[in-house]
Structure 1
Amino acid sequence: MADKNRSRVTVEIYGQTYTVVGTETSGHVRYVASLVDERMREISKHNRHLDSKKIAVLTAVNSVHDFLKLEAKVKQLEEELENLKG
């Protein structure tokens, strides 16, 4: 059974066209794609010898690294909030 809330959005990332299927708004998907594109172009600018596959992997590694740092910060802030409450 198809999910009626799913939509298709066509985006361009680092010169390639992708169709993203999901439940987020098209604006959100386009925003995420623009951030990925921006990050890939920034990495490429500083590493001109890398091919697009390596740039994509470095983008993923950097993004997960940033996510883990933010996740740790959220945990720390939640713990501080609990300490203030208790």
Structure 2
Amino acid sequence: MEQKDGRIRTVVKIGNQTYTVVGKEPSDHVLEASGLVDDKIKELKNKNPYLTTTQLAVLAALNISNEYVALMHRIEEEKKEED
């Protein structure tokens, strides 16, 4: 976890692979986000042990995107109710 040129390097482990993430977000943010992805991949692998790493990654991305979209819709609905 080093800073270089204003960028923060964070080493994470997702699906038994190690990645170095470089960005502006603090390391704790990157670790939390990568932990969610890793948890989703593990969940999917437990349910579908025959899936390839690529299939697991795509399904994890789709599941997380679905959760994000649902949350955004809920926030929009709450804002409409406040108005």
Question: Does TM, normalized by the shorter one, top 0.5?
Answer: yes
Matching of residues 46-85 of structure 1 within 5 Å:
46-82=47-83
RMSD: 1.2
Q: Does the alignment pair 1:15 with 2:16? A: yes
Can you list the C-alpha shifts for 1:39-86, whole angstroms capped at 9, x where unaligned?
A: 10000000011011100000001111111111100000001111xxxx
In 2, Cα distance between equivalents of 1:4 and 1:73: 38
Aligned length: 80
Q: Residue type of the partner of 2:56?
A: I
Normalized against structure 2, the TM-score is what? 0.91
Point out where structure 1 has 5 or more consecutive residues left out of the alignment.
Answer: none
Q: Which residue does 2:35 correspond to in 1?
A: 34
User: Percent of aligned positions with the same letter in both sequences?
Assistant: 35
Greater C-alpha radius of gyration: 1
In 2, Cα distance between equivalents of 1:35 and 1:67: 12
Higher strand proportion (structure 1 or 2): 2
